[in-house]
A and B are shown apart, each in its own frame.
Chain A
Amino acid sequence: MKTVLAIEDVHKSFRVGFIPKKKEILRGISFSVNEGEIFGYLGPNGAGKTTTLKCALGLIFPDRGKIEIFGRPHLEPEARAKLGFLPENPYFYDYLSAREFLDFYAQLFRIGKAVREERISSLLKLVDMEKARDLQLRKFSRGMLQRIGLAQALINEPSLVLLDEPLGGLDPLGRKEIRDIIIRLREEGKTVFLCSHILQDIEMICDRVAIIVGGKILSQGPLAELISEKILFTEVILSGLAPGELAGLGESLSSPGGRLLIKVFQEDKIQEILDLVKKKKAKIHSLIPRTQTLEDLFVEMVKSQ
């Protein structure tokens, strides 16, 4: 498998304050993104996600370390020719219309006029913004900016797309649409690098993830390997039984509207509960086995730091 983005032992610190004090943001970040995958870069606010991204894009210069894009040093313009980038909270030239804006960015990639027109139309269609084609960006809502930002990131038909919080500020429908677009990009053979702190999104679409906390990568690998498939416990909701009758079978949590929620940790105890329910003519409302989620893993890691 080909590596499209390789980051090796990158350090970065900033001097902050009136009397400059060194603040380390990245403390030796290393990871690589393979061709054709959706790579999730996960971390709490202020962990260094955006800083890593900016180093890769040449917006800031790392103190130490090596970054390669498509096997070239990342500061070469050629390395960035096949790169798309959507920043967090995108803000663009508000005096341009959507069409003018995309046209300007397409020109920066030296794309010919005919191809430009065609691509702008298809991208506006992809992000569902055809109606705003000639509207100035200053009149755009937050969600519309996010969409036009994504269109901008795809204007050069990039092989690698870097997205910083692409689902931020969108309503549930908008999130689903953008998620679908990201999955479609993978189907087209593109590589997607996704920064986010919204675990649900990453869990749904990413193939591999890296978790960064406090400027260090704590864990990385295929999603399936990071979170165990083992059933942690089973949640049972039932009614018609008194809490006392279930003593020793599981941890009884709450009883909303006469229903009982029990956490059962051993599998054989589930059978006992079912037998008891049958005997007492009680009722089972739901029975859900819980595996570890990315959230569990994430919370565990952030807490351990």
Chain B
Amino acid sequence: MTIKTIALNTFKEAIRDRILYLLFFFAALAMIVSRILALLTVGDRAKIIKDVGLASVSLFGTLMAILIGTGLVYKEIEKRTIFTLISKPMRRYEFLLGKFFGLVLTLFVILLLMSIIFLALVFAYTSAIDWRLLLAVLFVFVELILITAVAILFSSFSTPILSSLFALCFTLIGHFSWSLETLIKKIPAGALKVLAQVAYTILPDLENFNYKTEVVHGLAIPAQTLLYSAAYGILYTVFILMLAVLVFRRRDFI
């Protein structure tokens, strides 16, 4: 109940923030530009539109999650609104989870709007609705949920600028960590190999949520893979949120 109240208020805060509309505007612009880009390309133009569209949804969604997510908790502490909140009959984790779910709700609504624009653009070109595109967007959403949790974790002890940088690094590392797997295969057994394996286990692998290629090129995706990706996203998010709650629990609000 408390979590829901805080989540709805967070949602209200986010949708009254100008930065959201700015990013939304650019995302829509990028999708429309993909239509023009398609004219300049040889080959399957529909694929270009789908590809650029999905990339825009993913990129601007990530930016929203990081920029809004890192500001949310910090602003409450900095502007001291948290004083009157924490002193209400609630537990601290309820506050943090409320913030998290509020942002997840915001991202959900934004992704929904972007998907509608996206599907409409694709429909205008191919005269068919490609529902599988929504599957790719769904996993972008799972990735954004994880990034939101990371943004909230960092912002519970750091400033927005540093948190944004950390969260951005997390995202970048997450998208390139799969290359460690290739590296592990190439290096001989020994300390270095173990180190690489440990790093690969700990570091997030955000490519798990990337189904853009499969969807755009119409490749089959086994249900098992999808299930694995979803479970990976949920478990990682829960782990990060637990860390955030631990950090937040004993913090002094001066």
**A residues neighboring B (CB under 8 Å):** 14, 54, 57-61, 77-81, 83, 85, 87, 89-93, 95-96, 100, 104-105, 107-110, 152
Contact = CB atoms under 8 A, between A and B. Distances in A.
A108 B88 contact: yes
Contacts of A92: 81, 84
A93 B81 contact: yes
Contact of A90 (B6, B13, B84, B90): B84
Given A78-B89, A81-B89, A95-B13, A105 B84 contact: yes
Contact of B12 (A78, A87, A91, A96): A96
B131 interface: no
B127 interface: no
Nearest to B89: A77
Contacts of A81: 89
A61 B250 contact: yes
B84 A152 contact: yes
A87 B86 CA distance: 12
Nearest to A153: B84
B84 A104 contact: no
A109 B88 contact: yes
A57 B85 CA distance: 10
Contacts of A105: 84, 88
Interface in B5-31: 5-6, 9, 12-13, 16-17
Interface string B84-107: 111111110000000000000000
Interface residues of B, number: 26
B253 A108 contact: no
Nearest to A83: B87
B83 A59 contact: yes
Contacts of B9: 93, 96, 104
B79 A85 contact: no
Contact of A108 (B12, B85, B91, B252): B85
B80 A77 contact: no
Closest 8 CB pairs of A and B: A77-B89, A60-B252, A57-B87, A95-B16, A107-B5, A59-B253, A81-B89, A80-B89
Contacts of B1: 110
B13 A80 contact: no
B22 to A, nearest CB: 16
B88 A80 contact: yes
B80 A14 contact: no
A77 B9 CA distance: 20
A109 B89 contact: yes
Contact of A104 (B5, B16, B86, B89): B5
A14 B84 contact: no
B198 interface: no
Contacts of A93: 9, 13, 81
B148 to A, nearest CB: 20
A87 B83 contact: yes
Contacts of B90: 77, 108
A93 B126 CA distance: 46
Contact of B84 (A79, A87, A89, A96): A87
> Interface centre among B5, B79, B85, by most A CB within 10 Å?
B5
B254 A60 contact: yes
Contacts of A96: 9, 12
B81 A59 contact: no
B87 to A, nearest CB: 4
B254 A91 contact: no
B252 A61 contact: yes
Interface in B26-60: none
Interface string B163-196: 0000000000000000000000000000000000
A195 B62 CA distance: 45
A250 to B, nearest CB: 51
Nearest to A75: B91
